Structure 1
């Protein structure tokens, strides 16, 4: 099986970067895998944190080969991701992509590489992930869905060619075809507004443009019922602390088998579960509960 190179994007969170690399290193395929690290440059006043991250990535990590690209200037995550993925895919036909706030299972690389190998010639499948939010209801072990997930993912050169960086062009086609509801995961989350915000400069999301690029071509993502990835980056401090997150995910200790799905079509049950999960997590009621929980945790820590 051809092993995909792993791309890791880092910036100014040394502790997250260390934890991410330590977990990734525990994968059995790590020692056989190429690792590319793209380290973004500092903004004024942020030089110390960026330097600390670069000291972390310069350690002798146990991968087949580590290539570190230190950006001399601050590009921002979107530009860093787009350029990094494009650059590596000029040399390889597939990649696995991580960011510094992700913690992965020891089975992560096995699943991702098997999935990328299994679906390498299936034109309808353009994105692979093994991250899943905690949800109610059972799903197939793996499934196909017309969506994307940016927290631990993989793709192929044949798919990345569809990436359209012009958000306005994407939005125009979504709106002119009357696809806003479907693009929003059947009303589960405001992805259309997220794209509008990207166009207006209120965010710089590469993800919403990647999702829209594949969505408009009716491409599919391979997803999993259990999660081999956990995002620990919602604390705002660069270290993982015990606070309540709006969206939770449980890191599963067991491997996930890749069994080819036939026929290649969207799993409607998965679409309903995703829509319901996002709708609940971002509801005003849930946001209020999380806010109260975080407030209680902060007050409790102060008293201690």
Structure 2
């Protein structure tokens, strides 16, 4: 496979090995590896980071491996964002996988073909592996277009990533102009995402980098490709997880996958699927007052732990 793959790892050799095996089957000719360093106050974390990085040394196919390993712990937001800045400074496009997201084998071909098809179409910012319609078929084509850029397995271009800003400095202007209402229309969705972006703006170097990517895509009016079947499974639940420590906290873990059929059937239009997006907003991006309170407490605790 000629398209470069970017692999983001940290301290989980068990899940890293599973994703690495999927990459090995695809045999990319170029592999970028981004790794954060261990936290000094976490017992055995240095050893876990070392064991995780050792897996990369198992590359046994014709592949140029390019590493960006941090000696110190930068935290999730800084490490992922700075790592992707580095990748896109080196290549025009890439497929991106994290150490807990196992892709279906057909995701690689799916991404490679669509990276080429939409390479110069600035209306498209992301190609996602994730489908969260739970079996609901939204189109007779191989994929639909969405405002939601799911990042559990994705691909993109330098031309799109150049708009990324970890600090989302344009948030105040977006808020003042009430642009979220123009983007989302639904008052509940506006309220949900206003809270998210305000939280990120207040603490841009916390534990999230992906909300900033959503923000960048939205203020550029960009769309994302969503496969008509799910092509990724997140297996990252557990004590070592950064975000999700139990299945009860997040219901989209360990989702089943289905093969993408080829040749791809491309939609003859660039139009967002509103029905699918409304479903996603109502089922994925929803929160009660108690959920919001619990999330804020968790973020503050995690951030405090990272800063120690």
TM-score range, shorter chain: 0.7 to 0.9
TM-superposed deviation, 1:112 = 0.8
Alpha-carbon spacing, 1:37–1:179, altered in 2? closer, same or farther (3 Å): same
Pairs within 5 Å for 1:234-245: 234-237=237-240, 243-244=247-248
Higher mean displacement: 10-19 or 88-97: 88-97
Task: Give a deviation string over 1:171-206, Cα, whole Å, max 9, x none.
Answer: 213312323356669435833322222222283422
3-state DSSP of counterpart to 1:38: strand
Which stretch shows the higher mean deviation, 133-142 or 15-24?
Answer: 133-142
Q: Is the 8 A contact 2:11 2:52 kept in 1?
A: yes
Listed as ranges, the matches of 1:35-184 within 5 Å are 35-44=31-40, 45=42, 46-62=45-61, 64-135=63-134, 137-140=136-139, 141-167=142-168, 169-181=169-181
Residues 186-225 of structure 1 aligned to structure 2 (within 5 Å): 186=186, 187=188, 190-201=192-203, 203-225=206-228
Cα shift at 1:244: 4.9
CA distance in 1 between partners of 2:245 and 2:67 (Å): 28
Change (3 A) 1:137 1:285: farther
Identify which of 225, 250, 254 aligns with 2:259: 254
CA separation in 2, counterparts of 1:222 and 1:131?
Answer: 10
Greater Cα offset, 116-125 or 242-251:
242-251
Query: CA distance change for structure 1 residues 55 and 268 in 2, over 3 Å: closer, same or farther?
Result: same
Could you say what the CA RMSD is over the residues aligned between the two structures, in angstroms?
A: 2.9
TM-score calculated relative to the size of structure 1: 0.81
Determine the structure 2 residue equivalent to 1:265: 271
- Kept in 2, the 8 Å contact 1:105–1:251? The answer is no
Q: Distance in 2 between matches of 1:185 and 1:230?
A: 31
Gaps of 5+ in 2: 292-308
Query: Structure 2: how far apart are the matches of 1:185 and 1:96?
Result: 32
The one-character-per-residue Cα deviations of 1:29-66 (angstroms, maximum 9, x if unpaired) are x2243111111111103212111212222223446232
Unaligned segments of structure 1, at least 5 residues = 287-304
Please state whether the residue corresponding to 1:75 is helix, strand or coil.
coil
Aligned residues: 280
